[in-house]
Structure 1
Amino acid sequence: MSEMVSDQLVALEANAAGPVKLEFGPQKALFSLRMDPGNSASAAKAFAGKLATRVGRGSVSKTRSSLCCGPDEWFLSAPENDRRTICDAFAQLGKTTPHSLVDISDREVAIDLSGPLAIDLLSIGCPTNLHQLSVGWGRRTLFDTVQIMVIKLAPDSYRIYVWRSFVPHVWGLLVRGNREFAAGY
């Protein structure tokens, strides 16, 4: 199944020519964590990485990153091969600290956009003022009518996480916009 999905993503990626570099990001272990923020230190220990403390801010430690999505919600990212370790650590944490950790790795697909026009391309379908984002910050927002998570990776580089079932729609809009930029529109 995953090979079929990978083949489909490669086929989509082949049609992405334009001034903005569009490509699918690496497969990661992704989690949605909900818990009392007063317990974030114990969650950071279970995650073996820092948890961002302000809404919209990100935190990176070695190969793991977190984005604070709300006062009691985090979006966690780690290498794919760390998935089981993280699940086991949070299962242990659950014995003493109430929380909800949901593995969303198979639900989300990462799309990377880079280049001087990346923010303009994202803005064709995103109502959020992305100019307000600093590197490492992110937001949950919409692209067209699809919920996405957008994270600013570098001054001209963004990663969006899209539900797998919406990837063809979002990708198609990005490619269409990229072609319009290439044509000078």
Structure 2
Amino acid sequence: MTADLYGASPLAARADALARHSAPEGVQGVRIAEVPFTAQVALRVDPRGGAAERIGTALGAALPGRPGQVARTDRVLVLGLGPDEWLVVGSEGTAPELQDTLTAALDGAHGAVVDVSAHRTIVRVSGPKARDLLNTGCALDLHPRVFGADQCAQTLLARAAVILLCRETDPADFWVFVRASYARYLADWLIDATEFDG
């Protein structure tokens, strides 16, 4: 008998409802779905030190120099959350490998590497009306000239603290990182907002 490493994702119980309130592929509208079980590793390090440069080399992309910037490689996204804070996002099951890579690159320098994969889930909101839907509950200007691809922000969406990532602008494709304890609330809000939008 093998153990279930994850159990159910935070939005497993809302998957059918999200699917019902999403436009089918190719149809104008909005699609909402969970992106469960991504690897998420929090990183704190002095951006001016040698460790930051070693980490960039190990990841294959320099750490974003400013909060809100995002770096991409073929295996990770690196979100700039603060002057010395990043979130490294990888595919399911890669958190231990990412932790080892980041810790080795720190090489004893002052910093922190913490697996926070269980802390948040991701809700993908995509399609031509995705930006309009998010703007009903978020005070940020999400126009692509202001908040374009490979940009992120810590903000509030429907009063829930989230990290908002714009992956693509045409068509709009956003990832909303939300604490697991708020995921069902946010999913229900998104469902209600799609009904109101009609």
Q: Provide the TM-score with structure 1 as the length reference.
A: 0.88
How far the C-alpha of 1:107 sits from its partner, in A, is: 1.0
**Counterpart in the other structure of 1:36:** 46
Matched, 1:152 2:166: yes
CA positional deviation for 1:125: 1.2
CA distance in 2, matches of 1:4, 1:56: 31
Counterpart CA distance in 2 for 1:161 and 1:30 is 10
Structure 2 residue 181 is matched with structure 1 residue 177: no
2:156 partner amino acid: L
Aligned residue in 2 for 1:142: 156
What is the percent sequence identity of the aligned residues?
A: 21
Provide closer, same or farther for how the CA distance between residues 106 and 9 of structure 1 changes in structure 2, counting only shifts above 3 A. farther
Give 1:13's aligned amino acid.
L
1:88 to partner: Cα distance:
1.8
SS state at 2:122 partner: strand
8 A contact 2:54–2:106 mirrored in 1: no
Cα deviation for residue 44 of structure 1 reads 1.9
- Distance in 2 (CA, whole Å) between partners of 1:116 and 1:43 is 36
Shifted more, 90-99 versus 169-178: the winner is 90-99
Q: How does 1:29-178 map to 2 (within 5 A)?
A: 29-39=39-49, 40-131=52-143, 132-155=146-169, 156-178=172-194
Which contiguous aligned blocks of 4+ residues in structure 1 show a shift greater than 6 angstroms?
none
Q: Distance in 1 between matches of 2:106 and 2:72?
A: 24
Give the counterpart of 2:37 among 12, 20, 27: 27
Q: What's the CA shift for 1:41?
A: 0.8
SS at match of 1:65: strand
After TM superposition, the structure 1 stretch with the greater mean CA deviation from structure 2, 17-26 or 110-119, is 17-26
Q: Distance in 2 between matches of 1:92 and 1:99?
A: 12
For residues 179 and 188 of structure 2, what CA distance do their matches in structure 1 show?
14
Contact 1:49 1:64 in 2 (8 A): no
Structure-to-structure mapping, 1:2-13, within 5 angstroms: 2-5=6-9, 7-13=12-18
SS of the residue corresponding to residue 140 of structure 2 reads: coil
| C-alpha displacement of 1:7 | 3.6
Contiguous gaps of at least 5 residues in structure 2: 24-28
Contact 1:46 1:86 in 2 (8 A): no
Shift of the alpha carbon at 1:128? 1.4
Distance in structure 2 (CA, Å) of the matches to 1:101 and 1:108: 16
Aligned length: 182
Change (3 A) 1:21 1:42: same
User: For 2:183 and 2:94, how far apart are their aligned partners in 1?
Assistant: 25
Does the residue aligned with 1:159 lie in a helix, a strand or coil? strand
Query: 2 CA distance for matches of 1:94 and 1:63?
Result: 20
Q: Is the 8 A contact 1:115 1:157 kept in 2?
A: yes
How far apart, CA to CA, are the structure 1 residues paired with 2:69 and 2:120? 20
> Cα distance 1:9–1:102, how it changes in 2: closer, same or farther (>3 A)?
farther
Richer in helix (by share):
1
* C-alpha separation in 1, matches of 2:97 and 2:61: 13
